[in-house]
């Protein structure tokens, strides 16, 4: 079994490489947690959800915020380990006093995305329908945040080579994502529409525009997307309601399912996916996958098969 303390060092180094400042408090907390663990069984998990919860809430008289910090530190470490293919139980995000409550992701099927685009055509004027269709398509195939797509300018895209430069990403970072030929044709077709082309296609112009040629406000785009989901009749699933951000969850889920199904290294895929999505912490990427039973089932199957030759 891997030395857990060395895995803490690897995890902290990964965080630092992704832009986090060195965190001595986090290192101390994680090593304290590991020191509390009994010797694990040879074929068992490195640690369990129960062990994490028990340790996180151990300090007598501790504040809910301190208990929450301890559990969050272990959860993110566990998510990193699980994303690297190691056997570990990842504590759920809704456990413990003061724990963070994240919205349950809505995982879109391909048919759902097609239904959303049909809804846009039926609800809006031609230009607005085309704008919402391109926005939905880019969210689906790139995993970008809605704000990142809406801030794109025409010059941020190289449709000949299928490159999108996200110059105004979260945390002030710049990154690149790729488009396939089909997506490039769809975006080029949108820009060449007479009602869109007359609004300007110079490099500094916004890619997605209102009828006045201005950038689409995010609140307006979210409102239009909500109308599309209602018109398309997308069902509520296990407490989740369809949101634009969940197209990002769906992108990550598909990527990991493809990696597991094709036998690629899941740890490397998770690392690349984290960089693609612009996450500073692989635990953020792993959270996108927790709500997808397909990913868990494939991962368990790979573990049961044993090491790949």
- Residue 136 near residue 115, CB atoms below 8 Å: no
> Catalytic site residue 145?
yes
Q: Is the pLDDT of residue 306 over 50?
A: no
> Catalytic site residue 279?
yes
Q: What is the Cα–Cα distance from 56 to 37, expressed in whole angstroms?
A: 12
Over the stretch 23-68, which tens digit does the pLDDT of each residue have? 889 999 999 999 998 876 566 788 888 888 889 888 877 777 888 8
- Range 255-271 average pLDDT: 72
Sign of CA dihedral 88, 94, 98, 101: positive
Q: What is the Cα–Cα distance from 95 to 161, expressed in whole angstroms?
A: 46
pLDDT at residue 41 in the model: 56
Percent of the chain with pLDDT over 70: 80
Which listed residue (15, 190, 279, 286) is catalytic? 279
- Range 238-252 average pLDDT: 83
Select the more confidently predicted residue: 227 or 248: 227
Which listed residue (170, 193, 241, 264) is catalytic? 170
pLDDT at residue 99 in the model: 44
* Cβ atoms < 10 Å from Cβ of 289: 25
pLDDT at residue 64 in the model: 78
Question: Tokens standing for 12?
Answer: 């902290």
> Catalytic site residue 128?
no
Q: Is the pLDDT of residue 260 over 50?
A: yes
Give me the count of residues in the chain.
309
Over the stretch 130-148, which tens digit does the pLDDT of each residue have? 999 999 999 999 989 999 9
- Cα distances (angstroms) measured from residue 253 to each of 216, 273, 299: 28, 10, 12
Q: What integer best gives the mean pLDDT of the chain? A: 82
What is the pTM (predicted TM-score) of this model?
Answer: 0.62
pLDDT at residue 303 in the model: 41
- Flag the least confident range among 94-98, 159-163, 173-177, 260-264: 94-98
Question: Tokens standing for 180?
Answer: 């396939």
Q: How confident is the model at residue 193 (pLDDT cuts 50, 70, 90)?
A: very high
> Catalytic site residue 286?
no
pLDDT at residue 134 in the model: 98
Quick one: three-class SS letters along the chain?
A: CCCHHHHHHHHHHHHHHCCCCCCHHHHHHHHHHHHCCCCCCCCCCCCCHHHHHHHHCCCCCCCHHHHHHHHHHHHHHHHHHHHCCCCCCCCCCCCCCCCCCCCCCCCCCHHHHHHHHHHHHHHCCHHHHHHHHHHHHHHHHHCCCHHHHHCCEHHHEECCCCEEEECCCHHHCCEEEECCHHHHHHHHHHHHCHHHHCCCCCCCCECCECCCCCECCHHHHHHHHHHHHHHHCCCCECCECCCCCHHHHHHHHHHHHHHHHHCCCHHHHHHHHHHHHCCCCHHHHHHHHHCCHHHHHHHHHHHHHCCCC
- Flag the least confident range among 100-104, 125-129, 245-249, 279-283: 100-104
The whole-angstrom distance between residue 173's C-alpha and the CA centroid of its chain comes to 16
Which listed residue (70, 151, 248, 254) is catalytic? 248
- Region for residue 48 given its phi and psi (left: phi exceeds 0; alpha: psi -120 to 50; beta: otherwise): beta
- Flag the least confident range among 82-96, 144-158, 193-207, 291-305: 291-305
Q: Name residue 157's beta-bridge partners.
A: 164
Pick the most confident of 45-49, 187-191, 290-294.
Answer: 187-191
pLDDT at residue 304 in the model: 42
Which listed residue (75, 128, 145, 254) is catalytic? 145
Q: How confident is the model at residue 208 (pLDDT cuts 50, 70, 90)?
A: very high
> Catalytic site residue 170?
yes
């Amino acid at each position: 079994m891997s030395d857990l303390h060395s895995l803490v060092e690897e995890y902290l180094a990964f965080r630092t490489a992704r832009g986090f400042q060195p965190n001595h408090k986090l290192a101390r907390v994680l090593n304290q947690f590991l020191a509390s663990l009994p010797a694990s069984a040879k074929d068992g998990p490195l640690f369990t959800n129960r062990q994490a919860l028990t340790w996180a809430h151990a300090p007598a008289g501790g504040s809910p915020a301190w208990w929450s910090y301890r559990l969050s530190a272990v959860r993110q470490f566990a998510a990193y380990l699980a994303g690297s293919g190691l056997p570990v139980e990842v504590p759920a995000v809704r456990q413990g006093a003061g724990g963070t409550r994240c919205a349950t992701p809505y995982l879109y099927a391909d048919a759902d995305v097609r239904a959303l685009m049909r809804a846009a055509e039926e609800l809006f004027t031609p230009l607005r329908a085309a704008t919402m269709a391109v926005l939905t398509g880019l969210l689906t195939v790139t995993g970008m945040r809605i704000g990142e797509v809406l801030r794109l300018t025409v010059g941020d895209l190289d449709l000949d080579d299928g490159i999108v430069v996200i110059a105004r990403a979260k945390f002030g970072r710049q990154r690149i994502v790729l488009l396939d030929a089909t997506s490039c044709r769809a975006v080029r077709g949108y820009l060449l529409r007479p009602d869109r082309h007359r609004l300007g296609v110079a490099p500094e112009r916004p890619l997605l525009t209102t009828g006045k040629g201005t950038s689409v406000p995010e609140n307006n785009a979210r409102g239009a997307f909500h109308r599309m989901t209602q018109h398309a009749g997308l069902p509520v699933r296990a407490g989740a309601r369809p949101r634009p951000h969940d197209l990002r969850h769906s992108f990550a889920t598909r990527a990991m399912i493809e990696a597991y199904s094709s036998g690629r290294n899941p740890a490397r895929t998770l690392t690349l996916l984290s960089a693609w999505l612009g996450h500073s912490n692989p635990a953020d990427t792993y959270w996108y996958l927790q709500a997808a039973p397909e990913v868990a089932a494939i991962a368990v199957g790979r573990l049961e098969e044993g090491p790949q030759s």
